[in-house]
Amino acid sequence: MEQPTGTCGQCDVSSYFSRDFDKMQACKDLAALAATPYDLTAPSALSPERIRRYRTRAAGFDLLYATQRVDEAVLAALQRLAEESGAVTQFMLMKKGAVLNRIEGYPSEERQVLHTACRDIFAPASLAPEASGQARAELDKLADFLAALEAGTIVNEAGQSFTDLVQVGIGGSDLGPRAVYLALAAYKIPGRRVHFISNVDPDDVAAILSGLDLARTLVNVVSKSGSTLETLTNEELVRKAFADAGLEPNRHFLAVTGKGSPMDNPARYLRSFYMFDSIGGRYSATSMVGAVMLGFGLGYAHLEEILRGANAMDLAAEEPDILSNPPLLLALLGIWNHNFLGSETLAILPYSQALVRFTAHLQQCDMESNGKSVTRQGKPLTWKSGPIIWGEPGTNGQHAFYQLIHQGTSIVPAEFIGFRTSQYGQDLLIEQTTSQEKLVANLLAQTLALATGQPHENPNRCFVGNRPSVMLLADRLTPYAMGALLALYEAKVVFQGFIWNINSFDQEGVQLGKKLATRLLAHYAGLRENPDYSGEASDDSGWALLAAAGLLAK
């Protein structure tokens, strides 16, 4: 099959698709430097001068990395790796609309990657004007819809306003939007609530609907294809609940879907908003996938602030100097720890309860993007790709898994996220300090303790140190800050994919299980129609094994 050249204007991306990670000179230099990484436990290793110097800033966030096992030589080699791999050049090509979602010589999605266009509507001149125009048009539609809700021109059958919205979606249609909404619940419109249904487990639907006044509830169904099985199944369960309550679902249901999909149907939905092929699910929180729900729950002005923060970080990601580019520096430090110092996992630890689901979003964003084992030419990787991402908010995690991080046999690099002040500003002096001060003190203490360790004659109380971490610190978790944080991690993930020469924008790994589940569902249907059904003789789906084990019996 003839493949597209992957060009954008006069920009040819082909040369970057053939750069094997382990063949680059910078990687060889880093491998040599990894034999003697910086010793964080040495006397004066964490001097005030080092802490001041090993710090960069963008879009309101400070990235402090003095507690990484790096020195000037390592940072210089990481800069060379960024240049040799063309990381920033590829990022710019992505923003301009190059076809980067592809595998050379093999059938693949063949798509542009333009999630940044959802927020460069605030830039003086968009790098992808067509995509930005699409985003602007959908935002204008949403602004009109939200204004009509506010003015009372869109109401329920009884003339009442809507107080609740249920988002029905899964994967990128749930994780990112949910994480952002929960992070910014302090800014919600009084009298409005947002809820989420994602799991195909019917108990999830029942639990959410049980506490709602359906007459005053909107349902936002999100599926690009309009055919996502879990989402459509949940939608029908919710529609039945509305019908059973004597309500007309088409007056309550909204759709976020691809233009022309089966869900783009005004007979079934009060309004439809469009998502586009160039925006992957896990990068879609700032598209209509998240915007409709966020606009309803937080208001249009706060939604715009999220987009402005994201755009500010997108611009910072264009900087070629890694010390002026927090997303790129974070990506390179992750590569240093994963590929050269041998750490398999990464803990992302927000010291903010509002970010309770942010690590879950990053698990998808990172592991679905960079959990790949072939290059962009379809060749097996001979180097490690993405790490395992995990974590929980502090200080809860300190009383759970930090024991392993401090004294376990596995080195777990950590990325801490914190804020100098709280969202609500409701606090109290207890033993001469506020709760927020206690939270930030614990955050700072963990980074220092992991780095420096503690010698002790009792081996059970000995901490060896040299456990690397970084800290992302901002003044307050505002809508602008949340947008910046979201975009920082999106850029970090794609930078790592560019450097590893993998396709961070497809997700073939989720397809096999779906395919087998579809075949098993066909057998369930056959069993329902005929209790003696035993499957086709040629079937190899595992049906016979499951049936023989009695796992399918009620």
Query: CATH number, domain at 326?
Result: 3.40.50.10490
Among 494, 514, 484, 171, smallest CA distance to 316 is for 484
On whether both 409 and 377 belong to a single domain, the answer is yes
The answer, yes or no, to whether the previous bond of 382 is cis (omega within 30 of 0) is no
In a domain, 303, yes or no: yes
On whether both 497 and 379 belong to a single domain, the answer is yes
On whether both 80 and 154 belong to a single domain, the answer is no
Among 112, 142, 144, smallest CA distance to 130 is for 112
* Cα–Cα dist 242/236, whole Å: 10
On whether both 352 and 384 belong to a single domain, the answer is yes
Work out the number of other CB atoms within 10 angstroms of the CB of residue 248. Answer: 12
Cβ proximity of 299 and 189 under 8 Å: yes
3-state secondary structure of 348: strand
On whether both 323 and 296 belong to a single domain, the answer is no
Find how far residue 340's CA is from the centre of its chain. 25
User: Is the entire prediction scored with pTM above 0.85?
Assistant: yes
Element (H, E) at 93: helix 87-96
On whether both 480 and 542 belong to a single domain, the answer is no
On whether both 326 and 381 belong to a single domain, the answer is yes
Q: Kindly state the tokens that stand for 91.
A: 């990022």
In a domain, 8, yes or no: no
* Cα–Cα dist 188/174, whole Å: 18
**pLDDT confidence of residue 9:** 39
**pLDDT confidence of residue 554:** 53
| Sequence-distant (≥ 6) Cβ neighbours of residue 81 within 8 angstroms | 24, 26, 27, 30, 332, 335, 499
In a domain, 105, yes or no: no
On whether both 283 and 151 belong to a single domain, the answer is yes
* Cα–Cα dist 554/550, whole Å: 9
For 429-495, where are the E strands, in sequence order? 469-474
Terminal CA-CA length for the chain:
48
* Cα–Cα dist 284/114, whole Å: 10
* Long-range contacts, stretch 147-154, CB < 8 angstroms, 24+ apart: 147/300, 149/296, 154/270
In a domain, 53, yes or no: yes
Tens-digit pLDDT profile for the chain (554 aa)?
233 334 453 356 677 777 899 999 999 999 999 999 999 999 999 999 999 999 999 999 999 999 999 999 999 999 999 999 999 999 999 999 999 999 999 999 999 999 999 999 887 788 999 999 999 999 999 999 999 999 999 999 999 999 999 999 999 999 999 999 999 999 999 999 999 999 999 999 999 999 899 999 999 999 999 988 899 999 999 999 999 999 999 999 999 999 999 999 999 999 999 999 999 999 999 999 999 999 999 999 999 999 999 999 999 999 999 999 999 999 999 999 999 999 999 999 999 999 999 999 999 999 999 999 999 999 999 999 999 999 999 999 999 999 999 999 999 999 999 999 999 999 999 999 999 999 999 999 999 999 999 999 999 999 999 999 999 999 999 999 999 999 999 999 999 999 999 999 999 988 777 777 777 777 777 777 777 776 654 455 566 666 655 666 55
CA dist list (Å): 141 to 40, 114, 123, 300:
53, 20, 20, 12
Specify the number of domains making up the chain: 3
Element (H, E) at 340: none
| Sequence-distant (≥ 6) Cβ neighbours of residue 503 within 8 angstroms | 100, 101, 102, 103, 108, 372, 376, 497
In a domain, 294, yes or no: yes
Taking CA 379 as the corner, what is the angle to CA 102 and CA 334, rounded to the nearest 5 degrees? 80
Residue 71 backbone dihedrals phi, psi, to 5 degrees: -135, -170
* Length reported for the chain: 554
Cβ proximity of 64 and 467 under 8 Å: no
Taking CA 486 as the corner, what is the angle to CA 103 and CA 51, rounded to the nearest 5 degrees? 110
* Cα–Cα dist 517/519, whole Å: 5
In a domain, 406, yes or no: yes
In a domain, 110, yes or no: no
CA dist list (Å): 235 to 166, 195, 227, 242, 272:
10, 14, 11, 11, 15
In a domain, 75, yes or no: yes
Cβ proximity of 253 and 289 under 8 Å: no
Among 169, 463, 170, 182, smallest CA distance to 350 is for 182
On whether both 480 and 434 belong to a single domain, the answer is yes
Q: Which residues of 369-397 are buried (b: 16+ CB within 10 A; e: fewer)?
A: bbbbebbbeeeebebbbbbebbbbbbbeb
* Cα–Cα dist 262/459, whole Å: 64
Domain with 208, as residue range(s), is 116-308
DSSP 194: E
* Cα–Cα dist 334/468, whole Å: 10
414-419 and 388-390 beta bridge pairing: unpaired
On whether both 299 and 157 belong to a single domain, the answer is yes
Q: Which residues of 309-340 are buried (b: 16+ CB within 10 A; e: fewer)?
A: bbbbbbbbbbbeebbebbbbbbbbbbbbbbbb
Catalytic residues: 368, 399, 514
On whether both 407 and 346 belong to a single domain, the answer is yes
On whether both 133 and 245 belong to a single domain, the answer is yes
**pLDDT confidence of residue 514:** 74
Among 188, 197, 212, 19, smallest CA distance to 104 is for 19
| Sequence-distant (≥ 6) Cβ neighbours of residue 224 within 8 angstroms | 257, 258, 261, 275, 277, 281
State which of 247, 274, 308 marks the end of a domain: 308
* Cα–Cα dist 401/152, whole Å: 50
